[in-house]
Amino acid sequence: MTVLSRQAGTHTLNEPLTDGEVLRIRNDFPILDQDVNGHPLVYLDSGATSQKPISVMEAEQEFYEQRNSAVHRGAHTLAVAATDVFEDARATVAAFIGAEGNELVWTQNATAGLNLIAYSFGNASVGAIPEQEKKFALTAGDEVLVTEMEHHANLIPWQELCRRTGATLRFIPVHDDGTLDMEAAATLLNERTKVFAFTHVSNVTGVINPVAELTSMAHAVGALVVLDACQSAPHLPLDVKALDVDFAVFSGHKMLGPTGIGGLYGRAELLDAMPPFLTGGSMITTVTMDQAQYLPAPQRFEAGTQSISQAVALAAAVNYLEETGMARIHDWEAALGQRLVSGLEAIEGIRVLGPASGIPRAGLASFEVAGVHAHDVGQYLDAAGIAVRVGHHCAQPLHRRLGLSASTRASAYLYNTRADVDAFLTAVAGVRGYFGVEVETTP
């Protein structure tokens, strides 16, 4: 099959996406061409995991058919070929986020990347600390700062790090609309802050945080910045160098890639100074029965056999996104996000979480239906062929702050159309009637 043939000669990267082009894009995603429960599938759960284009699936299959071998080990032809495409994939994905190849560590997913950082910092906090590791070591009196909107993956590893080291975990609260309290941020960032970890885009409210401003504030007090880019890397242009973050993580399966592969960006001088997290083969230079010496980054953090075919497929996903144009994707999704929010706001008995319509947000919307549990909402929509996410979206503290235990989330991507959003809104409008729930009115 011809990779990305739908795009040849059809646009420039300065032109906005159109309904016609999005329909052509959909042809590259076979899973979307099916009926679910007797209705055409409307997939609005890309915030959880994205669908994969043909070119990505073909890239992984082609690796197994033509180049399958262990990387960085054998000297035979297949091993060399496998290593070449593996490292070419690293360079491709690193460039996609504005980094150098030696600044990208392959991980299983973003959660693994965040745990890698936290456990590496914990390893730097034990015993006699080498000089180059002191910047990462935490003790009692040090602070780790997060926000109230974090996904559990960017909260629990820091809770555990503080528990092990005696450091204190603090968080920046959010306003009622889910936006970050910047005045509180300015107060909480202080000379005791060693690490500031926060999300670029909230997976619940769609809030896009001012990364460059927050990073500048953190660096002014000497804190290291860890960015959760899970909901930004797939959806908007991301340049980690321009944002000046010290670390960033993302997951391949949310950006058209396969499962089992993600990335950790770290500034080269930081990665080379950090102690390893996992140890074993492929990340060492010399081993005796008493001790080991480790390779520089990124290999020092890649013990054992890596997700080779998945890395190759993720590079194909990145190529697909770049050929479509990340700015174009972001603009299209932002418009769909506004259509979602304004449409939900117009339905009686619906409370939308996060900023109101007209305020910039990512292409997702979480909401509450008065009198109907989110799980029931999800089941009703599924019966209409509409796939959404229900629950706390791995963000229980944020839901608790907003007065909920669960919500329903619709999240769009480059293959979604206005018609998808409209079908979703039509279905949501029928939820309360189906469950026989009336909205209480104020006398």
User: Could you give the residue numbers annotated as active site?
Assistant: 394
Give the Å distances, CA to CA, from 29 to 23, 105, 220, 252: 10, 28, 45, 16
- Rounded Cα gap, residues 37 and 279, in angstroms: 48
Residues 6+ apart with CB under 8 A from 365: 206, 337, 340, 341, 344, 352, 353, 354, 409, 410, 411
- Rounded Cα gap, residues 13 and 205, in angstroms: 28
Residue 99 structure tokens: 């980094």
- Rounded Cα gap, residues 260 and 332, in angstroms: 28
The amino acid that residue 222 corresponds to is: G
Residue 24 structure tokens: 């052509």
